[in-house]
Amino acid sequence: MKSRKKIALILVLLAAVLFGAMLLATAIGAVHIAPLDILKMTLNKLHLAHFDPTWRAVEEAIVFQVRLPCVVGAALVGAALATAGSLFQGLLRNPLADPYLIGTSSGALFGLTIAMIFLPATLSFSGFGITSIAAFLGALGAVFLVYTLARIGGRTHVVTLILAGVAVSFLLTAISWFLLDVMGELHWKAGAIYGFLWGQITAVDWSQIAVLAPIIFVGIILATFFAFRVNAFSLGEEGAAYLGINVERDKVLLLGIGALLTACAVCIAGLIGFVGLVIPHIIRLAFGPDNRLVLPASALAGASFLVLADLLARTILAPTVLKLGILTALIGGPVFLYLLLRYRREYAF
């Protein structure tokens, strides 16, 4: 167990890294805009100073309307996925748990497919495309279904939960692809599915952030607040019960928080692998398994990681945009392997 002071220090450092990453990601993009101009227009925008514009109006629109929402979106998605991942790993006592383990990804895919069949693609509500909303609802619906299925006699066994999650995932994925396969007119929408499966943060709107950021913030804060209970779950459910934890109630609560965070992330970016699975492990390798640190540190590290991965996705072949999910695995994989080899003997889960 680390002292509070040390935890605070680590978190402040990680927050500083995140801030730096976001600054960098705002300064660099497919289009070159002088960093000094960006600084000046930001100070103008915040009413901290007034500089006469030496930049074009279009450059200001690019920074504040196009680039910054994507950077903030990437940070939110990274934080949400990494927090949900560490929650699920702790709660389900399974190092392979990722935010999508209990049905979110397939549920989102299913929702997306249904929306494509029955609703016009151009429908949207307050900045959200119909596909995003369908994915969000599908993700939450699938988790609810898995939980209901796994609940036997008022109790939900962790193993049953994981197995039900896997089975429902396969089922929903199969139904989705079946529909996409047999409905000829859906073939041409395969591009949308492809974008969804590999994740993408290219067109985030401030109005989306205004809706989702509060949910994600509250989710992360609640998760951190309940970190002690996640620690208790690592002793197994009996052990947790001996510590005075209301196991069933807390399980629902923590699963709910994780599922909501994941659904928010899916809603913004589609499916982005790797972040939720591996960032919590990297944090544990580096700082130990105490969830009071792992949860908030994963959120900050996940956010920084995704902001940087998105920066690379936008800039490596600019103005071509690469699929974000490919980048996260390409960068994160080697980093994780390196840490795994280096800390092999000290790893505790």
Binding site for another protein (CB under 8 A): 29-31, 57-59, 61-62, 64-67, 69, 121-122, 124, 131, 184-189, 191-192, 194-196, 200-206, 270, 314, 316-322, 330, 333-334, 337-338, 341-342, 344
Angle at 147 between CA 141 and CA 152, to 5 degrees: 145
Which residues, at least 6 apart from 104, have a Cβ–Cβ distance to it below 8 Å? 139, 142, 143, 259, 262, 263, 266
**Please, which residue, 205 or 290, has the CB nearer to another protein?**
205
**Please, which residue, 286 or 326, has the CB nearer to another protein?**
326
**Please, which residue, 48 or 57, has the CB nearer to another protein?**
57
**Please, which residue, 114 or 158, has the CB nearer to another protein?**
114
Residue 71 and residue 307 in contact, taking contact as beta carbons nearer than 8 Å: yes
Taking the complex as a whole, the smallest distance from the CB of residue 61 to another protein amounts, in Å, to: 4
Alpha carbons 146 and 156: distance in angstroms, whole number:
10
Phi, psi of 178 (to 5 degrees): -60, -50
The dihedral over CA atoms of 252, 257, 258, 263, expressed in degrees to the nearest 10, equals: 120
Q: What is the 3-state secondary structure (H, E, C) of 238-276?
A: HHHHHCCCCHHHHHHHHHHHHHHHHHHHHHHHCCCCCHH
**Please, which residue, 192 or 243, has the CB nearer to another protein?**
192
**Please, which residue, 225 or 338, has the CB nearer to another protein?**
338
DSSP 155: E
